[in-house]
Amino acid sequence: MDAIIDLLQQNALMPRADMARLLDMELEEVESAIAKLEAEGIVLGYQAIINREKYDTDKVTAIIEVKITPERDGGFDRIASRIAKFEEVQSCYLVSGGYDLLIVIEAANLRNAAAFVAEKLSTIEAVQATATHFRLKTYKENGAFHLFESVTERLSVSP
């Protein structure tokens, strides 16, 4: 199971027949193992990693630190899920340290991003403070490099 998850994380599109050969399993075994991972909610979905330097370059990504007042019942969970439900929010984490939630948002342009912070996020009663960091350039995302290492030139045949 671990090996299948590793392969899915490296390349979710890998043909299942290739996975079977790599893991020395039967195709049906691989297919049913993946179906089980999906059914159990271990695999939540599959996404493409887009190089934003090359596509949709106007799109804005921001990382926002959010300080919130926890509630007596439920602590951070209800407010966090309220924030996470906004379409702009791509990721939302409860973190240790100087603030409580770290959220990653995507917006069509700078104006929309600013509007989200000013009008939606900051106006939630439990939100005490926010600090917004805009992405300037991406070097690595979900384990994939946007700036590649040079390809090693190996001898074409060597002992």
Write out the two tokens for 158: 């060597």
Residue choice 13, 24, 123, 137 for contact with other proteins (CB under 8 A): 24
Q: Does 23 bind other proteins (CB under 8 A)?
A: yes
- Beta-carbon contacts of residue 113 (< 8 Å; ≥ 6 apart): 60, 62, 88, 105, 107, 132, 134
Residue choice 18, 38, 71, 77 for contact with other proteins (CB under 8 A): 18
Q: Does 153 bind other proteins (CB under 8 A)?
A: no
- Rounded to the nearest whole angstrom, what is the least distance from the CB of residue 76 to other proteins in the complex? 34
Residue choice 57, 123, 142, 156 for contact with other proteins (CB under 8 A): 156
Q: Does 157 bind other proteins (CB under 8 A)?
A: yes
Residue choice 12, 22, 95, 118 for contact with other proteins (CB under 8 A): 22
Q: Does 13 bind other proteins (CB under 8 A)?
A: no
Neighbour count for residue 17 (Cβ, 10 Å): 11
List helix spans (H) across the chain: 2-10, 16-23, 27-39, 77-84, 110-115
Is-contact 131 64, C-beta < 8 A? yes
Binding site for other proteins (CB under 8 A): 3, 18, 21-24, 149, 152, 154-159
